[in-house]
Chain A
Amino acid sequence: MTLNQDQSKVSSVLDGEDKTARQRWMGIIARASGVEVAELLARIESQPSYELIKRPETGTLMLEGRAGGAGQRFNMGEATMTRCVVRLSDGTMGFSYALGRDRKKAEQSAVIDALLQSATRDAEMLHAGLGAMAQKQAEAREIASRKAAATKVNFFTLVRGDG
């Protein structure tokens, strides 16, 4: 069977090593809770000044699926999402997009995105915190998968006679 080939053919556009560093950190921040994002931003000593280019705003995203998983596109229904755009005083733009309706998280995430783009001491602190955040998310996924694995069926084949 050529299962592995098939898997790579349909794998997500964002899978594996194709992601840029920025795509990766935006995904990690989007998955974090509002409390976790606030804690991450609190790691830096002096909070940066910034202006809101796009105030935190909640809207919807239409979720698309594919018939049979791989065929014709169709709309499955919407999800709430919140976005925000900020500009630091040095002109760096920060963006955030995440599922849900947490506007405070959106604003803080956009600030973090802007800070992470520079090579400052603040960015270093944030990168360290981000690493811990990613680790925690990976561990949660691992535990969920291991709990599922505990429910995997092991079939016994009954052999009749002396063979």
Chain B
Amino acid sequence: MYVAVKGGEAAILATHDLIAEERRGDVSVPELSVAQIREQMQLSVARVMNEGSLYDEDLGALALKQTQGDLIEAAFLMRAYRTTLPRFGSSVPVDTASMAIRRRISATYKDLPGGQVLGPTYDYTHRLFDFALMANGEHSPEAKIAEHALDAAMPRVPDILGDEGLMEAEVPPVGDPRPFDLTRDPVEFPADRDVRLQTLSRGDEGFLLGLAYSVQRGFGGNHPFAGEIRLGEVAVSFAPEELGFAIELGDITLTECQMVNQFKGSIDQPPQFTRGYGIAFGHAERKAMSMAIIDRSLKARDFGEASEYPAQQEEFVLYHCDNVEASGFVEHLKLPHYVDFQGELELLRKIRREQEERLAERKEAAE
């Protein structure tokens, strides 16, 4: 329990001024614009959009500027802003098969239709500093342009194995129901796949990465292969009631990961590869991969596997992966708990007093 404490208004106002000055840093250094952050810190912006659960690159960049690059505080701003807006509806489910591909790789098939497209990635860099960037060089880098565009059809890799019946099928449940929405309804356990995927989508990248790593290290092993990772732009379609037909509202950048895992089968179903799915706003491969590994590990119940490890326990994962909630609870410890603590202090003094009295009585009795 904490009670309201009055006072400190002047101190709070002064701290607003002080943090604004700190945020600006040395004024002899030019100020960052939101557009600069949006264009040149794209991967941070993507993370803020994911964990803030709101796709808007300008707002993601503003959030980063306003919070001095504190990613979780920035996600918090996105979540808070979202609550001020009306919800106009839900999109038609995005179709990642028709993504305008900029990167698409598979660790399971060398020669897949459409090919291995490395796209923009740090994977093959040497992780050595490029001091030219610090020297403020004016050069504007230019990418190579091939003569021809990529193949129009870039099939998702699990769909290829699916055609041979070797892959666990992903089909909508009967009636293709509207998904659960955790922003409207409380999460209950056991949680269905739609609940799990929505929660993981907005989950903390670091938390999910650590859990995914634990799975790979044997704390719930299911031998994942990166069946496919794809990055690119996908159209967002929406059918407004007053219009009566679907229209496209623009494109968003998505990263999708399909993990392929070892086999499950039953009397009715010959053994198949099992799947884990990850998707993220912007270019966010580590997040999408971690999500896909956790999606699979949380299927433990569906496959009758023992849920022995943290990554297989949905209450543990889903209740603790939200960094805005987690930091709210951890950081609320900074708020005044004067009365609480006073109570504890008095209790401790009383316990000690009683103990001293008992010891004194015993000593007297012994004498």
Contacts and interface: CB of A to CB of B under 8 A. Distances in A.
B363 interface: no
Contacts of B194: 67, 72-75
A69 B162 CA distance: 13
Interface residues of A, number: 65
Interface string B168-197: 011111001111111100000000011101
B165 to A, nearest CB: 12
Most A CB contacts (10 A, CB to CB) among B86, B100, B146, B177 go to B146
Interface residue tally on B, bucketed by range = 35 or more
A123 interface: no
Interface in B236-289: 236-238, 240, 242-243, 245-252, 256, 258, 275, 277, 279, 281
B6 interface: no
Interface in B104-124: 110-111, 113, 115-119
A2 B95 CA distance: 19
A86 interface: no
Interface in A11-26: 11-15, 20, 23, 26
A64 B336 CA distance: 41
A23 B103 CA distance: 29
Interface stretch (A41-49, A127-135, A142-150): A142-150
A68 B87 contact: no
A89 interface: no
A77 B53 contact: yes
Nearest to B50: A77
B58 interface: yes
A119 interface: no
B170 A74 contact: no
A61 B236 contact: yes
A84 B223 CA distance: 50
Given A12-B235, A79-B252, A73 B172 contact: yes
Interface of A: 1-4, 6-7, 10-15, 20, 23, 26-27, 30-31, 57-81, 83, 85, 95, 97-101, 141-153, 155
Interface of B: 49-50, 53-56, 58-59, 82, 85-98, 100-103, 110-111, 113, 115-119, 143-150, 153, 155-156, 158-160, 162-163, 169-173, 176-183, 193-195, 197-198, 201-202, 233, 235-238, 240, 242-243, 245-252, 256, 258, 275, 277, 279, 281, 295
18 contacts: A23-B247, A30-B248, A65-B279, A75-B183, A77-B49, A77-B201, A79-B55, A80-B55, A80-B56, A83-B88, A85-B242, A99-B236, A99-B250, A143-B145, A147-B143, A149-B117, A151-B118, A152-B117
